[in-house]
Structure 1
Amino acid sequence: MGYIPAIFSVLLVSFAQVAMKYAMSRSPASAGIADIICELAGHPADAGWLLAGLAGYALSMGCWFLALKRLPLSKAYALLSLSYIIVWAAAVTLGFRGERFSLTTLAGILSVICGVILVCMPSAKR
């Protein structure tokens, strides 16, 4: 069944986003990519989170290939929307700067969930 690799892909890409955000939130504002690399080189733990995020993306892509092989694209792609929910919940829970809970955002998240359910529900055969 293609849903299992699709869910793993969603979980891995969500982890990747949170790990990279964590690494970048711990580095000071910098002018460019060279500054970021130099800053991370001096902080191996933060660089580790960034590398873990990149590895999460790579593994997610492998799972995504398996999902695409086994699921219709419309259903697989709808499942990717679940990563928005996971990343939002993690960002609010972990308290990244500027991330706050709001009822408006929650309403949007619930709309995404409803959309995924509607797209992934088995359709009646005719």
Structure 2
Amino acid sequence: MKKYQWVIASIVFVTLAQLLLRLAMQGNSTLFSFIWLTSGAVEIYYLLLGLISYVLSLFSWVQALRHLSLSHAYPLLSISYILVWASSFLLPSEQQLLSWQAVLGLGFIVSGVCLIVSVRSK
């Protein structure tokens, strides 16, 4: 289990980064305009925290690759798609209806990850 801790950390950080970047872009149509960058808006902090989360995810990923093969670790990153999708319901602007197509797609992702990891483990 210890060798998977870095993969889990990378997944958590990249999920957090996606959510923070979405929060940073809510209601902002002019990315990186001088006025927006100097306004002191809370979105700037979301942007910076999102970028820091990506850096932490990258660091975690590099550490994960020291302990796992790429062919084993990479499919596990697909879990972040599920976490981002599920977590997006917590954001005010992302309130949407749950569709059977989305659930089916998530099921395919989970099934694929399980298949790949189980084949690699044998």
Segments of 5+ residues of structure 1 without an aligned counterpart are none
- Per the alignment, residue 23 of structure 2 pairs with 22
Query: Using the alignment, how far apart are the partners of 2:52 and 2:72 within structure 1?
Result: 25
Whose helix fraction is larger, Structure 1's or Structure 2's? 2
In 2, distance between residues paired with 1:38 and 1:45?
13
* Unaligned segments of structure 2, at least 5 residues: none
Identity %: 33
- Corresponding residue for 1:85? 82
Number of aligned pairs?
A: 120
2:44 is aligned with 1:47: yes
Distance change >3 Å, CA 112–CA 49, structure 1 → 2? same
Scaled by the length of structure 1, what TM-score is found?
0.84
TM-score (norm 2): 0.86
Q: Among residues 97, 104, 107, which one is paired with 1:107 in the alignment?
A: 104
* C-alpha distance in structure 1 between counterparts of 2:95 and 2:12, whole Å: 23
> Alpha carbon RMSD of aligned pairs, Å?
1.9
Matching residue's letter, 1:53: G
Question: CA-to-partner distance for each residue in 1:70-126, whole Å, 9 max, x for gaps?
Answer: 1111121101101111111111332434854211011101111111111112543xx
Secondary structure at the residue paired with 2:93? Answer: coil
User: Matched residues in 1 for 2:48 and 2:60: separation?
Assistant: 18
